[in-house]
Structure 1
Amino acid sequence: MTTTEKTTPEKIAPEKITPEKITTEKITAGHQPGARTFRGDLDVPEGLPRGLDLSRIRNQDKAIAMYGRELVEKITDHALLADDYAYQAMLDVKDKSNNTSWRTFDKALDHGIDAIDDPTPGLVAMFEQLDRIPDWVDFDQLYRGAVAFWRAGPIVPPVLAWGAIAGGFSMYSATRPVLFSGRLKQTERVGTRLIESFRYVVAAYTPGNMGRFEEGFRLTAKVRLIHAAVRHSLSHSDHWDWAGWGIPINNMDSMVTQAGQFGVKFTDAVQSAGFRYSDRELEDIFALSRYVGYVIGVPEDILHTGYEDARLKTDLHTMLELAPDDLCRDVVNSIIKYSIENPPGGVEVLPGPVASFMTDERRLKLAYGLLHSWIPAPVMADLGIEKTGWARILPTIAPLVSTYERFSKRTFADDERAAFDMLRRFNDAIKLPEGADRAHTVANPDEVHADIAANKGGMPRVSKR
């Protein structure tokens, strides 16, 4: 592997926030003495409050009383820290004075960094971190976790589409970075964004897909660099509220995406239908989401370590979140309505027998009813989502499903078969059109940058950077 000359953190990321404001340890590659170190605050302007005092944070005193000042300050400090490994690599891609490009990055993903002639220091540092497999990773466990993730069958697509993805945007912080491009606000563009999200999540959570040269790993790393490009675009927008929101796509929010959105909230929603995960299955699922989080750039300093830790950090993040606003409401409703009226690839999110006899209006009422089983009542009230009669469907069927689960003699092979059957149907819905370039599997960063620069989401101006 290509190595780089030892470089001090100051040369790469000049300290812009004083130690009195940020006490978090530097993020390090942690596996080579000469590896580059990044503080996580590249391009962050001076003069900001520390994370705990950003206006997006509420219930500070309550959180400190319940979780302790050390943990609360540690987590909220990461609202002003982000993934500088990917950010520096992305800056190298944007720098026209070298030969690095998006295709260079793709080649390094497919063949390793050694396949690149004269790679830039930023690209080398990112792949040193990506190629390191933490000692807590057990690929057999990740495989089992992916099987458990999908084994519940027909309930998984609506949980994933409405509970995890749409429901995730009920979080004030999760919504801010996606508002600027307009891709989740303008109806005609929601479908593209939604399918891109499905492709990444489905690939990452497919059994066996997080090996270094497998598709799940590739798309997770690809999304990581896209996040860095979006961060760069937002960081240079006059419409980004630094003192309110912190750094775009920060570590604090990236952590809860894996621990909460595709972890605690996903497993809770599946179990609300009567399915029951064993303790081992939960640990396996959260081991998988932990490694996905590592590959997508969440520092191990705050990355969840298991099921209980994920729940604790998710609950803390929820307590600190501002209530959903009108912008959250617009995004959640646009995703759900689009998925009802234009199911991806013509494949229904709902189970076929259910979807076949329902009008769009009834499906929408069913989706909103299910959300009332998956999202806390105060959040649903803030979102303005009606509580339809379908809110009783899961409490009604859950005892029957639970009884079946308890007495069925299910083997791992049965679970594996159910998982891959569900994945085949889902992948048919989200596959690339025939002949399409594999680079289009997820978002085109140049197109997203152009949309953000044009402020197609119509966000109000905050200040000139």
Structure 2
Amino acid sequence: MQIPSAYQDGMVHARRIDPALTETYLRHTMIGDPLADAVMAAFRDVPAPVQRDWMHRGMDGGPMAVADAPAAWRDFLAETERVPDWFDPGFTGPGCRAFHGNSEMLIAAFVGAVLVEGFSTLISKSFSITGRLVDQGVRRLKQNNRHISEIFLPGGLDRHGDGWKMSVRIRLMHARLRVLLATAEEWDTPAWGVPLSSAHIAFATAAFSGGLLDRARKLGVEPTEDERRSFMMIWRYSGHLMGVAPELQAVDEAAAMRLFRLGMAAEPPPDLEAILLANGLINSAPVVAGITDAGQRRKLVRLIYSVSRSMIGDQLADALNYPPARNFGALAALRLRNRADRVLRRHVPAWDRRRRAFQFAQMIDLSFSDGAGNDYRMPAHLHAEKDRPS
């Protein structure tokens, strides 16, 4: 088995967690997404407007609506429309309620821990080379927020729901970026593996599901057993739609955390690109939140750094060049506030309704204000600054 050289040191530590899963993870660092990659190959010489037309019609009407498109696109749609037997649409309710009832803290954990931890890995290379986070960080963060919001809306993962469409769109976008990165001078396949590899997509999904629940728990979020199981099922299905290989799909929270810890152990230490992306992400959060006052932005950034350090640990925070911790009680105060809020909501239904309404409105502001929709335009250039809508 060919193993990218960057993983040679980390795989020793990963094997201590789960030897068999480590072998699977390492093997998938050299695999992309055969089904989606075949679509991009079939679209290679097709004019962009025709590609977008096929995508729009196929995403709305399925394979029967694109009889004039390549077989690879119709096959992709047919396979994507198959619903795995483990997904129960009737059981999405608890997960949706848990997310939208705690979206404030879940998004805080997502930005302050999960995304930071993800960008501390070689995943950062794809975003750094293309500039699709450095140059467009605020927009990308809003799109991430929107994707999460959509999959946790009732019916969002139905065949014609926006959560379903956004998950599949992300998969196609990854496939297109793989094409651009694979031939780029900057990309080092022997060292890093395949761009946006199957391993990294699975790792990210494990982080967004089990990792997010774990980090949010540190903020005082305590979903019920049914809510956690439903939350995990929703993310597993979204990951399935994004192309996560069946052998790397986390069946429950424990499996997701095992893959997450294994991936963090296998990946090399953060390099300069990872440091820039992680810190850029935190500094863009106040902009996404709509805070315009410079002093208030700095205050929020200091708080995010403090809480983030508490969630990800001093070792990773120091490796990412975080500023020294100054507010040692920030996480404890936040956790206490959230637990008090939970008790109040449990005993005062009117307060619970008010908090849910506030968080939902806040989530809309954080996710939808850039006007982005399900646009199926694929990047024409590797670097974001050269890639402007035609």
- Relative to the length of structure 2, the TM-score reads 0.89
Superposition deviation, residue 223 in structure 1:
1.2
Pair 1:94-2:26 in alignment: no
Q: Aligned residue for 1:339? A: 285
Task: Indicate if the aligned counterparts of 2:166 and 2:374 stay in contact, CA closer than 8 A.
Answer: no
Per-residue CA distance 1:97-133 (angstroms, 9 max, x = gap): 9995122112111122211133311112211221000
What is the match of residue 362 of structure 1?
A: 299
Give the Cα separation in 2 of the matches to 1:289 and 1:213. Answer: 17
**Does residue 1:257 correspond to 2:199, yes or no?**
no
For residues 429 and 329 of structure 1, the distance between their equivalents in structure 2, rounded to whole angstroms, comes to 24
Of 281, 285, 292, the match for 2:231: 285
* 1:445 and 2:378 correspond: yes
Q: Does 1:128 align with 2:60?
A: no
Question: 1:404 Cα shift?
Answer: 5.4
Where in structure 2 are the equivalents of 1:310-459 lying within 5 Å? 310-340=256-286, 342-344=287-289, 346=290, 359-399=296-336, 401-402=338-339, 405=342, 409=346, 419=356, 421-431=358-368, 438-440=373-375, 444-447=377-380, 449-451=381-383
Q: CA RMSD in A?
A: 3.0
Give the residue type in structure 1 aligned to 2:383. Answer: D
5+ residue gaps, structure 1: 1-20, 22-49, 349-354, 456-465
> Cα 1:417–1:117, aligned 2, differ >3 Å: closer, same or farther?
farther
1:181 aligned residue:
130
Counterpart of 2:240 in structure 1 is 294
Amino acid at match of 1:195: K
Out of 303-312 and 266-275, give the one that drifted further.
Answer: 266-275
**Paired residue for 2:180?**
233
Q: 2:9, 2:356 → 1: CA distance?
A: 40
CA contact (8 A) 1:237 1:453 kept: no
> In the TM superposition, what is the alpha-carbon distance from 1:375 to its structure 2 partner?
0.9
1:145 and 1:285 in contact (8 A); partners too = yes
- Residue 137 of structure 1 and its aligned partner are, at CA, apart by 0.2
Matches within 5 A, 1:135-284: 135-169=85-119, 171-186=120-135, 189-260=136-207, 262-284=208-230
Consecutive unaligned residues of structure 2, counting only runs of 5 or more, are none
Shift of 1:446: 2.3
* C-alpha separation in 2, matches of 1:211 and 1:309: 25
Question: Aligned AA for 2:15?
Answer: I
SS in 2 for 1:389: coil
Deviation at 1:301, TM superposition (A): 1.6
Q: Is the 8 A contact 1:113 1:127 kept in 2?
A: yes
Check whether the contact 1:88–1:122 (CA below 8 A) recurs between aligned residues: yes
Deviates more, 1:78-87 or 1:424-433: 424-433
Does the aligned pair in 1 maintain the 2:178–2:195 contact within 8 Å? yes
Q: What is the distance in 1 between the residues matched to 2:349 and 2:164?
A: 24
Does the CA contact (< 8 Å) of 1:368 and 1:391 recur in 2? Answer: no
Question: Aligned equivalents of 2:109 and 2:133: distance in 1?
Answer: 19
In 2 relative to 1, CA 59–357 (structure 1 residues): closer, same or farther, beyond 3 Å? closer
Counterpart CA distance in 2 for 1:273 and 1:296 is 28
User: Aligned partners of 1:257 and 1:393: how far apart in 2?
Assistant: 27
Q: Which residue of 2 aligns with 1:308?
A: 254
Task: State the 1:195 CA deviation.
Answer: 2.2
1:303–1:417 distance in 2 versus 1, CA, 3 Å: farther
Higher normalized contact order (CA 8 Å, seq sep 6+, divided by chain length): 2
Whether the 8 Å CA contact 2:174–2:196 is kept in 1: the answer is yes
Contact 1:100 1:119 in 2 (8 A): no
- Say whether the 8 Å CA contact 1:147–1:415 is kept in structure 2: no
CA offset at residue 437 of structure 1? 7.7
% identity of equivalent residues: 19
Partner of 1:40: none
- Alpha carbons of structure 1 residues 191 and 299: separation in structure 2 relative to 1, 3 Å: same
Equivalent residue number for residue 17 of structure 1: none
Query: Quick one: which amino acid aligns to residue 206 of structure 2?
Result: A
Distance 1:223 1:405, change over 3 A: same
Looking at structure 1, the residues matched to 198 and 99 of structure 2 have their Cα atoms a distance apart, in angstroms, of 24
Q: Aligned pair count? A: 387
Structure in which a larger fraction of residues adopt helix? 2
Q: CA deviation at 1:208?
A: 2.4
The residue aligned with 1:76 is 26
Q: Which has the larger radius of gyration?
A: 1
Superposed CA offset, 1:180-213 (max 9, x none): 1223234xx3222222332223222333201110
CA contact (8 A) 1:180 1:452 kept: no
Give the whole-Å Cα distance in 2 for the aligned partners of 1:380 and 1:409: 35
Q: TM-score, normalised by structure 1?
A: 0.75
Do the aligned partners of 1:233 and 1:452 also contact (CA within 8 Å) in 2? no
Contact 2:181 2:382 in 1 (8 A): no
Offset at 1:361? Answer: 1.9
Paired with 1:207 and 1:112, the residues of 2 have a C-alpha distance of 22
